[in-house]
Amino acid sequence: DAKTTQPTSMDCAEGRAANLPCNHSTISGNEYVYWYRQIHSQGPQYIIHGLKNNETNEMASLIITEDRKSSTLILPHATLRDTAVYYCIVRDWQGAQKLVFGQGTRLTINP
């Protein structure tokens, strides 16, 4: 599995954009980048995924660099409810389609 590297923790002010970086320098051509988040005491929640192009949905935007070695998840107007651990995952293409979770980034939104 390609591994990802994320900062351990980040803080962001409520109402501001939260930009969460992720490095995945060993990603292969057919592997997608997924983002999930886990709010305290809940199961992980899907946010967004992409392959090469930037993606946007109602929750967030995903910016993937041209060489695909890194990406940034953007929460455009963070709220207190966005406080969670955010996981950047490169989807395993070989064999099982399991998600390989790292330690993630603990994002704290401050009032």
Partner 1 sequence: GAGVSQSPSNKVTEKGKDVELRCDPISGHTALYWYRQRLGQGLEFLIYFQGNSAPDKSGLPSDRFSAERTGESVSTLTIQRTQQEDSAVYLCASSPDFVSTDTQYFGPGTRLTVL
In the complex, which residues of this chain contact partner 1 (CB under 8 A)? 30-32, 42-46, 49, 87, 91-93, 95-104
CB of 38 to partner 1, least distance (A): 8
What is the C-alpha to C-alpha distance for residues 98 and 93, in angstroms, rounded to an integer? 9
- Name the E strands within 1-111: 9-13, 18-23, 33-38, 45-50, 55-56, 61-64, 70-75, 84-90, 105-110
Question: Looking at beta carbons only, is 26 or 103 nearer to partner 1?
Answer: 103
CB of 62 to partner 1, least distance (A): 14
CB of 44 to partner 1, least distance (A): 5
The dihedrals phi and psi of 81, each to the nearest 5 degrees, come to -70, -10
The residues facing 46 across adjacent strands are: 36
Question: Looking at beta carbons only, is 49 or 63 nearer to partner 1?
Answer: 49
Question: Looking at beta carbons only, is 10 or 32 nearer to partner 1?
Answer: 32
